Amino acid sequence: MFRRLLIANRGEIAVRIIRACRDLGVSPVTVHSEADRDSLHVRLSDESLCIGPAASRDSYLVADRVLDAAGAMGAEAVHPGYGFLAERADFADRCAARGLVFVGPPPGAMRRMGDKAAARAAAIAAGVPVAPGSEICDDLDAARTAARDIGYPLLIKASAGGGGMGMRPVAGPRELPGAFAEARSEAKAAFGDSRVFLERRIARPRHVEFQVFGGPGGEVVHLGERDCSIQRRNQKLVEESPSPAVTPRLRETMGAAAVRLARAAGYRNAGTVEFLLAPDGGFSFLEMNTRLQVEHPVTEQISGLDLVALQIQVAAGAPLGFTQEDVRLSGAAIELRLTAEDPFGGFLPGTGRIAEFRPPDGPGIRCDAGVDSGTEVAPHYDPLLAKLVAWGPDRETARRRAMRAVAETRLVGVPSTLPFFERVLSSAPFRSGRYDTGFVADHWDALSADPAEDDLADFAVAAAAAELYRAGRRSAPSAAPLPRWSLAARGGC
């Protein structure tokens, strides 16, 4: 096992890796920007070095500074977390060149599966279902020819893309020229690579992904699926496992396809194979993420495995230690991505100092946080603050515990997605498990309605109740029921 490991990241994932290191007896060291000098991950690590200004392009994304820091602090391995340098095959190469172990997949597998067009070709070669599509389209004429062969509606996808960048839906021929130009331009700006390809758009799919893990001897297993269909603009908001739409037989079929692809790619360590699941039960390969996922705690809760510790152990050369037959999945888990965004203001990110953060607790609740009271939320980074995870012996118990977690969490000083999650978890489609990737768009009015008028009405009722109480009358006005916070206010009058 390594003596010392550098965590090339920040926020909640850096804290998560620090804790895995502690459990393994490994000394965790970190890097930080000038804006993160007092952050939680810095305070929890054994040593930390500043590697530049607040902007990530001048600090966390500068590979040489990260590697210099690893050498200065005597690290033997580097864990990239997710984001930043996590899927940079050249960074993994540079780690090896400096005698550092990269905690992740081999660079060759990252290159092969990190390019969407190449990954699609690998899936076809491995016998994994894919949606009808094209090869790279270098110009509009090639795109028009491919579109006629594929049929509408379709998607234009950036080969080097991720997170919905460089992706455009196309309903018909008239939309193709504009969408094609926009996708190429956005892909070039975001990834420095304008290559795009076309793929048939599946109507009302679910986004279902399988956690895979490869050992040093070439063995690969899957750890079940996660349903990530609650999204906004291709950004995941809520994840759960198992998927309400996946039967045991379908799980076996999809899991085998995920393992087959990972094995063909020569994959090692943690990765995720993502699929689109059609309403008729057919599925097609979407992409492979060659890193740890934000939603990995969902799988940890139902599998009983510490995926981060397993990553570090496998990177150190330890065998995987179990086979597919040994994997036992139990209960249900739901993860909520708590971000500093205003759900009633178009999900605009907020900044400022967190005056108070009180995470939830109790049976079945886990909170992976990268902040605490007093943390300054800067505008330079992803707004993810914490992940609320609820486990239960069944889905309904997990759902109710997730609602309890939302109600118990106190976050003062920045806007957050807490009220949005309360509405999602209590909605009829989510309760029933019958939803797809169109959930947020279909129910946007109800999910994002400005609560100001309701709050004013509640406040009026509470004020009237307080006045009646002071006047010696013990009953509240009957015009409207008192909300929970109003009842609490009345008790204190």
State pLDDT tens for residues 254-304. 999 999 999 999 999 999 999 999 999 999 999 999 999 999 999 999 999
What CA–CA distance (Å, rounded) separates 192 from 185? 10
Same domain membership, residue 282 and residue 196: no
Which residues pair with residue 271 across a beta bridge?
212
Is the same domain home to 287 and 432? yes
Pull the structure tokens for residue 401. Answer: 């515990």
Residues 261 and 322 in one domain: yes
Question: Which pLDDT band holds residue 249 (cuts at 50, 70, 90)?
Answer: very high
CB atoms within 10 A of CB 61: 18
Same structural domain, 214 and 339:
yes
Q: Which residues pair with 356 in a beta bridge?
A: 412
Minimal CA–CA distance to 143: which of 173, 100, 106, 110?
Answer: 173
- CA–CA distance, 320 with 266 (Å, rounded to integer): 15
Query: Is the predicted pLDDT of residue 383 greater than 90, yes or no?
Result: yes
Task: Flag whether pLDDT at 78 surpasses 70.
Answer: yes
CATH number for the domain that contains residue 342: 3.30.470.20
Q: ∠ CA(269), CA(320), CA(224), 5° rounding? A: 70
Residue 457: what pLDDT?
A: 38
**CA-based nearest residue to 316, from 221, 222, 211, 215:** 215
If you ran DSSP here, which 8-state letter would residue 52 be given? S
Give the N- to C-terminal CA distance of the chain in Å, as an integer.
60
Residue 164 placed within a domain: yes
The answer to whether residue 112 sits within a structural domain is no
- 157 in the same domain as 263: no
User: Do residues 342 and 388 both lie within one domain?
Assistant: yes
- Asked if residue 113 is part of any domain, the answer here is no
Rg (CA), the chain: 24
**Residue 37 and residue 148 share a domain:** no
Q: Which residue has the higher pLDDT, 393 or 489?
A: 393
Chain centroid to CA 16: 14
Percent of the chain with pLDDT over 70: 91
Residue 172: which CATH number?
3.30.1490.20
162 pLDDT above the threshold of 90: no
Cβ atoms of 30 and 23 closer than 8 Å: no
**Both 367 and 424 in a single domain?**
yes
Domain edge (last residue) among 448, 465, 483:
448
Q: In the predicted model, is pLDDT for residue 489 greater than 90?
A: no
* pLDDT score at 451: 57
pLDDT at 101 over 80: yes
pLDDT at 459 over 70: no
CATH number of the domain within which 85 lies: 3.40.50.20
Among 181, 200, 219, the domain boundary falls at 200
Residue-level pLDDT at 473: 37
**Average pLDDT in the 123-144 region?**
96
Who's near 136: CB < 8 A, 6+ residues apart? 117, 159, 195, 196, 197
DSSP-assigned letter for residue 121: H
Q: What's the CA gap between 458 and 383, in Å, rounded?
A: 30
- pLDDT surpassing 50 at residue 31: yes
More confident residue, 467 or 50: 50
d(CA 352, CA 456): 26
Residue 251 in any domain: the answer is yes
Check residue 32 and give its pLDDT: 98
Count the residues in the chain. 493
| Shared domain check, 458 and 319 | no
In whole angstroms, what is the distance from residue 25 CA to residue 306 CA?
A: 15
Give the model confidence (pLDDT) of 406-437 as tens digits. 999 999 999 999 999 999 999 999 999 999 99
Asked if residue 70 belongs to a domain, the reply is yes
Give domain status of residue 114, yes or no: no
Question: Looking at the annotation, which residues are catalytic?
Answer: 291
Q: What is the pLDDT of residues 438-454, one digit of tens each?
A: 999 999 888 877 655 44
- On the question of pLDDT at 207 being above 50, the answer is yes
Task: Say if residues 147 and 177 touch (Cβ distance below 8 Å).
Answer: no
The type of residue at 388 is L
Q: pLDDT value at position 304?
A: 97
pLDDT of 336 reads 98
Q: Whole-model pTM above 0.75? A: yes
pLDDT recorded at residue 344? 87
Q: 375, 353 in Cβ contact below 8 A?
A: yes
Residue 164: what pLDDT? 78
Say yes or no: 11 and 58 in one domain: yes
Q: What is the DSSP letter of 34?
A: G
Burial 394-417 (b: 16+ CB within 10 A, else e): ebebbbebbbbbbeebebebbbbb
Calculate the average pLDDT of the chain.
Answer: 91
Q: Is 264 helix (H, G, I), strand (E, B) or coil?
A: helix
Please enumerate in sequence order all residues whose Cβ is within 8 A of that of 390, keeping only pairs 6 or more positions apart, or say none: 333, 334, 364, 365, 366, 398, 399, 401, 402, 404, 405
Is the pLDDT at 55 greater than 90? The verdict is yes
237 and 144 in a common domain: no
Confidence check: pLDDT of 483 > 80: no
Q: Is the model's pLDDT at 477 over the cut of 70?
A: no
Sign of the torsion angle spanned by Cα atoms 200, 201, 205, 206 = positive
- pLDDT over 90 (residue 155): yes
Kindly state whether residue 35 falls inside one of the protein's structural domains: yes
Which of 219, 303, 207, 221 lies closest to 259, judged by CA?
221
The answer to whether residue 109 is domain-embedded is no
Strands 27-32 and 47-50: parallel
- What is the number of structural domains in the chain? 4
Q: Which domain holds residue 140?
A: 132-200
DSSP state of 369: E
Place 480 in a pLDDT band, splitting at 50, 70 and 90: very low
